[in-house]
Amino acid sequence: MNNDTIELLAGEIIWNLQDLYSGPEAEELTADINKSDELATSLSAEFKGKVAELDDDSLYKLVQQLEGLEKGLAKLETYVFLNFTTQTHDAAASALVQKVEELGARVGAQTVFFQLEWNLLDDKRAAELLQSERLNKYRHYLTEMRKFAVHQLSPLEEQLLQEIAPVGRSAWLMLFEKVMGAAKFGPDGRSEEEVLSELYADDREVRKQAAEDLTDGLEKHKHILTHIFNTLAADKMIIDGKRGYLSWISKMNLENELADETVDTLVDTVIERYDIVHSYYRLKKNVLGLEELCDYDRYAPVPGLSNTSISWEECRSIVLDGFAEFSPRMAEIGELFFSKNWIHAPVLEGKRGGAFAHPCVPEVHPYVMVNYTGNLRDVSTVAHELGHGIHQHLAAEQGFYNSNTTLVLAETASVFAELLVFKAQRELIKDPAGRRAFTCQKLESIFATVFRQVSMNRFEHAMHTTRRSSGELSADTLSTLWVETQRPMFGNSVTLTDNYGVWWSYIPHFLGTPGYVYSYAFGELLVLALYARYLEEGEGFVEKYLNLLSAGGVDTPYNLLRSFDINLDDPNFWHGGLSVIEQMLKEVE
């Protein structure tokens, strides 16, 4: 960590993992591993082959025990992941992750019988059980599970997939994390996070050099990254084929509890308005006084915005004040993350890049990770991740199974939090040039969340469909698909240089959660619509919004949003959000 970052943070902001376990070698951690193994074996011995015979009370008790088992496993998995993510070079931390992943595979192999037998249950009998008041708590969970029945394999195949999971996708993701964690960029050996931050520099030469250094660093690992991408694309192709998914995106849509048509409507509607992006970047080129706007100029700051570094304490005040203006309750929960050390903030050697909020179990709070360097974008990132954290904290009251919300609604909470902080910050800026520059920065953030994520969805679509029709993809083919799917978003407003072609290779979402990225666009456009409702309804909206977050995953997105009178299948709804973006563009024009 450099001296500037130490000063900005006013001391290291390190999360307290002792709320989970006292350390990697803690006796209670070992005891929980053994307990998970024993409980999984016991449940399998008692109930395997007998689910069809259970009455509502016995079914409730079995699901309750399975929830407890998975909750204990989630606590272990959270600890080892967080322990590893800030020290990706550490062999012991990596080994502990592998140990718990192997535990998860054993537990999964022992308990997969329940999903298999429940999904094979006669529809009439399942419906009778689901009508029982005894099963109210788990009704949505059990109903959604049955939607995967048609994609279910034989018991032997499902058990085998569970057993080999530690050497499958998770192992390749671990390799990706290690490669990117160890990667150095430029002659001074900067980290991924540091070189990406330089793409936002005032000095064009600094931006251009950062782009070249990022590309050179990625090129050095391109053969490994290409192999990882191909392996995981092939893994998905094989599993999807075996399970009978009609499209590469079908499984993600099912997990998001969305119909394919809803997602298609979202994606198509966003693509129709790429012209908003074109207009903005043509404007930005003129504002910056450039003859040509290149890819490394996209994030150049618009003149008028202060580039003074924001200390960690200032960031804390900005974010919490923005939350408090909307809801004191929201600010109170956000304060817990700061005061109780639920955040890991500094840039450190071996720490993974990016940011996330990680849920744990209802009895233990979520954790947030950022790489804080003190710029305005970092303040937005802190607000974004705290939005996730507050959502996870509120949803915990629903219990472990029901607190897990779909990705699309999870992104709604984070984007809404980010918007609240933006609105609060903008009100403090009195200088017109400063307000315009700050609005431009927000527009670019929205573009990254809506248009860029949809263009990345198009890259994933091209990658998976081409892999399935043409076999293994070369690095050059992946780069071609990347540029071909990104160029329409920019049109002729931005020149994509040769350096840009390999930038697909550092994006982890493509590997860890295939199909995830459209959730960002869903969340952003939904938030713009919800914020408009807030301006109309005032205090009455706040309670409805917090109720939405508190509901977690107890129902589908369609039903959870019903109180807001939102039709997700109506293109006009999505156009409504896009029109808000267009209006922001007109303000800065």
Please state the φ and ψ torsions of residue 369, each to the nearest 5 degrees: -120, 130
pLDDT score of 75 = 97
Q: Tens digits of per-residue pLDDT, 429-443? A: 888 888 899 999 999
Predicted pLDDT of residue 4: 52
Q: Among candidates 235, 215, 221, which has minimal Cα distance to 172?
A: 235
Which two structure tokens, joined as six digits, stand for 36?
């998970």
pLDDT of residue 8: 52
Residue 522 in tokens = 């869903």
Distance (Å, whole) CA 235 – CA 177: 18
pLDDT band at 425 (very low <50, low <70, confident <90, very high): confident
CA nearest 330: which of 144, 534, 134? 534
Q: Is the dihedral of CA 278, 281, 285, 287 positive or negative?
A: positive
Cα 42 to Cα 110: distance, rounded to the nearest angstrom: 9
Contact 85, 354 (CB under 8 A): no
* Element of type H or E holding 87: none
Confidence (pLDDT) at 375 = 84
Say what the pLDDT of residue 6 is: 43
CA–CA distances in Å: residue 512 to residues 17, 200, 478, 503, 506: 23, 27, 18, 17, 12
Q: Is the pLDDT of residue 347 over 70?
A: yes
Interacting residues of 11 by C-beta distance below 8 A, sequence separation 6+: none
Mean pLDDT over all residues of the chain?
94
Q: Which band of pLDDT confidence, cut at 50, 70 and 90, is reported for residue 457? A: very high
Nearest one of 343, 438, 429 to 383, comparing CA atoms: 343
* pLDDT score recorded for residue 304: 87
- pLDDT band of residue 10 (cuts 50, 70, 90) is very low
pLDDT for res 468: 97
Closest CA to 325 of 429, 418, 428, 423: 423
CA dihedral 573→265→262→560, nearest 10 degrees, is -20
Rg (CA), the chain: 24
Q: What is the pLDDT of residues 177-235, one digit of tens each?
A: 999 989 999 999 999 989 999 999 999 999 999 999 999 999 999 999 999 999 999 99
From 402, 392, 360, 395, select the one nearest 138 (Cα to Cα). 402
- Reported as a single tens digit per residue, the pLDDT across 151-174 is 999 999 998 998 898 888 989 999
In angstroms, the Cα distances linking 95 to 24, 84, 92, 104, 271 are: 11, 9, 5, 14, 44
Domains (range + CATH), the chain: 20-167 (1.20.140.70), 171-183+199-306+419-589 (1.10.1370.20)
Residue 208 contacts residue 296 (beta carbons within 8 Å)? yes
Coil, strand or helix at 367: strand
- Taking the CA atoms of 569, 571, 572 and 576 in sequence, report the sign of the dihedral they define: positive
For the chain, percent of residues with pLDDT exceeding 90? 87
- % of residues, the chain, pLDDT over 70: 98
What pLDDT, on the 0 to 100 scale, is given for residue 106?
A: 95
Please tell me the distance from the alpha carbon of residue 80 to that of residue 60, in angstroms, as a whole number. Answer: 30
Question: Is residue 3 predicted with pLDDT exceeding 80?
Answer: no
pTM: 0.86
- For residues 144 and 118, what is the distance between their CA atoms, to the nearest angstrom? 11
pLDDT, tens digit (0-9, with 9 covering 90-100), for 51-64:
999 999 999 999 99
- Of 535, 522, 518, give the one whose Cα is nearest residue 561: 522
pLDDT digits (tens, 9 = 90+) for 61-104: 999 999 999 999 999 999 999 999 999 999 999 999 999 999 99
Q: Using CA atoms, how far apart are residues 491 and 501, in angstroms rounded to an integer?
A: 16
Whole-number pLDDT of residue 124 = 96
pLDDT grade, residue 9 (50/70/90)?
low
Reduced to 3 states, what is the DSSP secondary structure of residue 12?
A: coil
pLDDT over 80 at 11, yes or no:
no
CA pair distance 59, 55, nearest whole angstrom: 6
